[in-house]
Chain A
Amino acid sequence: AQSVSQHNHHVILSEAASLELGCNYSYGGTVNLFWYVQYPGQHLQLLLKYFSGDPLVKGIKGFEAEFIKSKFSFNLRKPSVQWSDTAEYFCAVNNNAGNMLTFGGGTRLMVKP
């Protein structure tokens, strides 16, 4: 069975700091990769996704993620975080066999103003 690991459970940054959240998955075949975000009091929403093509994916609000197949990784990055980026971030993977997503444990990001 596939699994998804997010090694950082809690991250605290100051505004304007750079962000990188790790995501590693275990499945060896073709995968589709997602990052979802849950802002305080809001529902989970899609931040960005990778299916094929350019491994550097741009998402909303200045976020990007890079798919490195050899490392089984899909890390999320943002050059300069804002207080409004405070949220919980989830990495998710599916293996092209249907739309069953496997989620990582989530990373809580707190950005200090």
Chain B
Amino acid sequence: GENVEQHPSTLSVQEGDSAVIKCTYSDSASNYFPWYKQELGKRPQLIIDIRSNVGEKKDQRIAVTLNKTAKHFSLHITETQPEDSAVYFCAANLYSSASKIIFGSGTRLSIRP
């Protein structure tokens, strides 16, 4: 089955700087890679996703890149703000089926003022 690894587990950056979180996946059949932001005690919220037919996707300060050959994908947050502080999870699954989402282990991002 699919296995998703994520690092770092914790990340602290100065406000205004960029943050990068990296993930790898094992199942070459996976073709959909969502990223979730979770605040304490709340449900995960989808912040951006990418399908395997593209290499990069950007939405304002957030971007995701995908290297399907290497089975790597990354989340980039630029111009970080205090409200970006949260736990971020990468995930992988098959977009064309109601298949299970497998989550990475999570990254706790802290933004220093």
Partners in one complex: no
Query: Which residues of A are in contact with B by a Cβ distance under 8 Å?
Result: none
Query: Which residues of B are in contact with A by a Cβ distance under 8 Å?
Result: none
